[in-house]
Structure 1
Amino acid sequence: MPRYQPPFTLTSEIVSLIAAVAEQVGRLSAQSGSGMDLRLRRINRIRTVTGSLAIEGNTLSEEQITAILDGKQVLAPPRELQEARNALAVYEQLHAWDGLSEADLLAAHRMLMQGLLDVPGTYRSGGAGVMAGDKVLHMAPPASRVPTLMTQLFGWLQNSQEHRLIASSVFHYEFEFIHPFADGNGRMGRLWQTLLLSRWQPAFAWLPVESLVHREQAAYYEAINASTHASDCAPFIRFMLGCIHKALLDITPQDAPQDAPQVVRLLKALGDNSLSREALQQALGLSDRKSFRQAYLAPALSAGLVEMTLPDKPNSRQQKYRLTSKGRSWLRVHKEHD
């Protein structure tokens, strides 16, 4: 029987993204494993779990996920708490799973869906599809075909000579197409791509790609649908590589002047607030508008640490500024380090 070959095309854009990701990975790998790095990894792991669960409708915030991780009591729907505890446990065991093992995928699903499904860790026995309200976005193959399709997919993965960025994205798409489980397919697909990438570069074990996928959730599903309609998963590969590249840019210190004292002061002045330029200058004790913009605001905006509340109206009198998720993460780490 001929070996299964998922259909995909390597476009020039995909090749360029691979090179861009590889460059950022090289910069990230050059960082030392300092204590501050460990705190940043913890924050990114929390962002990863929060983002992946949010895509599936879980409403827990990063602060609540942090409290659960710290063993504190959190008031929330029991199912959402169970989803969070399970996801944290699975990501904690990421180093123990073999991304090329179908048995390990079933074991990971068992842990991820414990207490949420009657028989977690087993392939579905009924039909499945992806819905958007009353609209059917995708009808998965019949349950009787799932074991064979999954065995073929793992067979391809084990023998693939493709770059791990490509192979992991193809696996992720094919996994979602097959939709092998009654529930938890989205979480497992994203988890398994993270696992496969972490075996290529360990930094991917804590890179918060899921938070970016959550931010671009509509585009995520559009990429899946476009790949299905084209019978070619290039659109999904392109989307995932774009998310990976953005996530790497977010956590690579060399790409942001976040150690500049002016930027540090600006981030601390903003905190959890949304402030106008005038309010920020007053909080910082600055009277020169041009100096404030050049030395404080412009570097923070270009680094992605601060964003406008009205990005489509940059000169609006109602314009205010607030921290991005990257800025909030940096500020939390900085406070702990202080």
Structure 2
Amino acid sequence: MSNYIPPYAITSKILLLTNEITEMITEVSSIKKDRTTPILRKKNRIRSITGSLQIEGNTLSEEEVTALIEGKRVLGSVREIEEVKGAIKSYELIEEYDAKKLDDLLLAHKRMMGGILENAGHFRSGNVGVYGKEGVSHVAPPPYRVPELIGELFDWLGKTKEHPLVASSVFHYEFEFIHPFSDGNGRIGRLWQSVILGSFRDIFYYVPIESVVKEHQKAYYEALEAAGSVGESTPFVEFMLESIHQSVKEFLEEYQKSDHKSTLKSDQKIYELMKEDRTITIKELALRLNMSESGIKKMINKLKKEGKIERIGSAKGGKWEVLDEV
């Protein structure tokens, strides 16, 4: 066990954001897996995967990622499709990883990058640099130091008493500074922050923080560079807490809307789900509403007769047209 403590400072901004986020998640501490709708969990997982990959330059959209998850064919480069498939595999285990176990992080990297890298799941053997607009913005530590540095970081994570919101952000920065892999460091760093937060509160397994970071991608890289310039992770911690704050706020707004649907009649629930996903199938509707497919078809016919929906295209490749408010 080492005595390493990553350099950072607890600012008034960090304290304020930590308190506000904690208050928000305390208000919904009763939200568990069985109380979040499957469609919301699936939607947010897709947003996490898409956002994290798009930060790295992947051009596939949420719709295309959804199609790959459902086993459908998607047009795109071999590498982009492999990146999505790897991310899907890695995020599938997000609730099973032990945030404090290095072996689990290596497994996540192997699943994430297995279709792209020959040495997936293993530390890099060469020198790497992080490139910005003006050239190399960060030269990572030499490869022979990586096992020691990562070991020290996990030792710190295992014994720190710091609030998980702060600790996860510090870990994220330190991980990117070490840059332990030849590729995939950014996406694993973002995934592992969610793993750390999920071990603190289940809600974070479903909060798409990566999507918000993508929306502020320039600020994300600026925060990394600012932290490197001052020699401590404080600027990056502040940025990540702002992103988490926004992510939780948006999640709660979505949850409240989905929770409202639980009081609706069956035909209204179907109508709302079709508004969210125009390509949703009868089978998916039956699974999400715990109804028989024949019951779903009966409600769909009712909505059609009322002039509220139409089917455009075939049963397999078509979509729903929502025509009027229920």
Is TM more than 0.5 here?
yes
Q: Which residue of 1 aligns with 2:192?
A: 192
Q: Which residue of 1 aligns with 2:205?
A: 205
CA contact (8 A) 1:227 1:236 kept: yes
CA contact (8 A) 1:50 1:211 kept: yes
Instruction: Go from structure 1 to structure 2 and tell me whether the alpha carbon gap of 1:254 and 1:66 turns closer, same or farther (over 3 Å shift).
Output: closer
Q: CA deviation at 1:255?
A: 9.7
1:168-227 CA-to-partner distances (Å, cap 9, x unmatched) read: 111000000000000000000000000000000011112100011011011111111111
Q: Which residue of 1 aligns with 2:237?
A: 237
- Per the alignment, in what secondary structure is the counterpart of residue 136 of structure 1? strand
CA contact (8 A) 1:170 1:233 kept: yes
- Per the alignment, in what secondary structure is the counterpart of residue 131 of structure 1? strand
Letter in 1 for 2:208: P
Q: Which residue of 2 aligns with 1:29?
A: 29
Q: Which residue of 2 aligns with 1:179?
A: 179
Q: Which residue of 2 aligns with 1:8?
A: 8
What TM-score results when the alignment is normalised by the length of structure 1? 0.74
Q: CA deviation at 1:28?
A: 3.1
Q: Distance in 1 between matches of 2:216 and 2:55?
A: 10
Q: Which residue of 1 aligns with 2:58?
A: 58
- Per the alignment, in what secondary structure is the counterpart of residue 100 of structure 1? coil
CA contact (8 A) 1:249 1:255 kept: no
Q: Which residue of 2 aligns with 1:219?
A: 219
Q: Distance in 2 between matches of 1:104 and 1:35?
A: 28
Alignment of 1:8-157 (within 5 A): 8-31=8-31, 37-133=37-133, 135-157=135-157
Question: Is 1:228 the equivalent of 2:228?
Answer: yes
CA contact (8 A) 1:141 1:178 kept: yes
- Per the alignment, in what secondary structure is the counterpart of residue 114 of structure 2? coil
Q: Distance in 2 between matches of 1:84 and 1:155?
A: 31
Q: May I ask how many residue pairs the two structures share in their alignment? A: 270
Letter in 2 for 1:146: V
Letter in 2 for 1:153: L
| Structural RMSD (CA) | 2.8
- Per the alignment, in what secondary structure is the counterpart of residue 95 of structure 2? helix
CA contact (8 A) 2:7 2:232 kept: yes
Q: Distance in 2 between matches of 1:13 and 1:167?
A: 15
Q: Distance in 2 between matches of 1:254 and 1:42?
A: 13
What TM-score results when the alignment is normalised by the length of structure 2? 0.77
Q: CA deviation at 1:33?
A: 5.1
Instruction: Go from structure 1 to structure 2 and tell me whether the alpha carbon gap of 1:271 and 1:87 turns closer, same or farther (over 3 Å shift).
Output: closer
Q: CA deviation at 1:29?
A: 2.6
Q: Which residue of 2 aligns with 1:285?
A: none
Q: Distance in 2 between matches of 1:165 and 1:150?
A: 20
CA contact (8 A) 1:149 1:178 kept: yes
- Per the alignment, in what secondary structure is the counterpart of residue 80 of structure 2? helix
Q: Which residue of 2 aligns with 1:322?
A: none
Identity within the alignment, %: 44
Q: CA deviation at 1:23?
A: 1.2
Q: Distance in 1 between matches of 2:35 and 2:7?
A: 44
Question: Is 1:158 the equivalent of 2:171?
Answer: no
Q: Which residue of 1 aligns with 2:283?
A: none
Instruction: Go from structure 1 to structure 2 and tell me whether the alpha carbon gap of 1:243 and 1:44 turns closer, same or farther (over 3 Å shift).
Output: same
- Per the alignment, in what secondary structure is the counterpart of residue 252 of structure 1? helix
Q: Distance in 1 between matches of 2:253 and 2:115?
A: 40
- Per the alignment, in what secondary structure is the counterpart of residue 21 of structure 2? helix
Moved over 4 A (4+): 32-36, 254-260
1:134-192 CA-to-partner distances (Å, cap 9, x unmatched) read: 61111111111111111111111111111111111110000000000000000000000
CA contact (8 A) 1:27 1:252 kept: no
